[in-house]
Amino acid sequence: MESKPSSFQFYNGVVLYPVGFVLLIWVVYWLEIRFGLNFTPYGVKPQTFSGLRGVLFSPFIHGSLSHLWHNTVPLFVLSTALFYFYNRIAWRVFFLIILLSGVGTWCIGRSAYHIGMSGVIYGLVSFLFFKGIRAKHFRLVALSLLVVFLYGSLVWGTLPMDEKVSWEGHLAGFISGAILGFCFRESVAKPPKYVWEAEDYNEEDDPFMRQFDENGNFIEIEEEEEDIVNTPTVNYIYKEKDTNSESEID
């Protein structure tokens, strides 16, 4: 069975990068509390020139401890999956989700400050799901199903069900992840192929298939004959004892 040796290899960044993201959003919130700062005006404010700075800054700003906590665990889990299963394109995907979700929120959002990592989380969920399904690799498909099981209910967050929640940011992030899931084609593990799936496979040259006849019956006699032919022969020569050379001692 052929496999891609560089696929799904663990490295330090699989854990260190997600931990760094989590620490960053917590440090930003700690700075606000510790020094009485308010970073909310640095969020995305749609259809305003100053609001464009929020495209880069808004994912790292949170309005409350509850808001921060609810984004912490999904951010760590999803970014870990991203850097493990898609290590070659992980950084590009992560930053593109930040940019696209921020720009999308700026285009369709209400006139308010949109902050939080939720848009990026929705983008990661969408990317991991659609990319895994398209890759047709059993591990990536399993990852897609796991993402749906854990975070499938997030799809309701893309609908205007709560005025206090930036559903526009969620929707922009989800669409961004889906677009990237269909755009990125390189650096993705290929499904494993067995010997008989190769184009130049010849059934007659397969040692295993030669053990069966055209009707699929196991050929025991030929196997035994082949074993006899291939088994080395050992000949033993027995020499009689020479009694004349013996002497008696009284």
Asked if the model's pLDDT at residue 138 lies above 50, the reply is yes
How far apart CA 221 and CA 135 sit, in angstroms, is: 45
CB atoms within 10 A of CB 189: 16
pLDDT in tens, 35-63: 999 999 999 999 999 999 999 999 999 99
Distance CA 10, CA 150 (A): 22
Query: How do residues 100-117 score in pLDDT, each as one tens digit?
Result: 999 999 999 999 999 999
pLDDT band at 22 (very low <50, low <70, confident <90, very high): very high
The pTM assigned to this predicted structure is 0.74
Q: In this predicted structure, what is the pLDDT of residue 201? A: 59
Question: Average pLDDT, whole number, for the chain?
Answer: 83
Share of the chain above pLDDT 90, in %: 58
pLDDT of residue 11 exceeding 80, the answer is yes
> How much is the pLDDT for 29?
97
Q: What structural domains does the chain harbor?
A: 13-183 (1.20.1540.10), 195-230 (no CATH)
pLDDT tens digits along 146-186? 998 989 888 899 999 888 899 999 999 999 999 999 998 75
Identify the band that residue 188 occupies on the pLDDT scale cut at 50, 70 and 90: low
Sign of CA dihedral 103, 106, 108, 114: positive
φ, ψ dihedrals at 97, nearest 5°: -65, -40
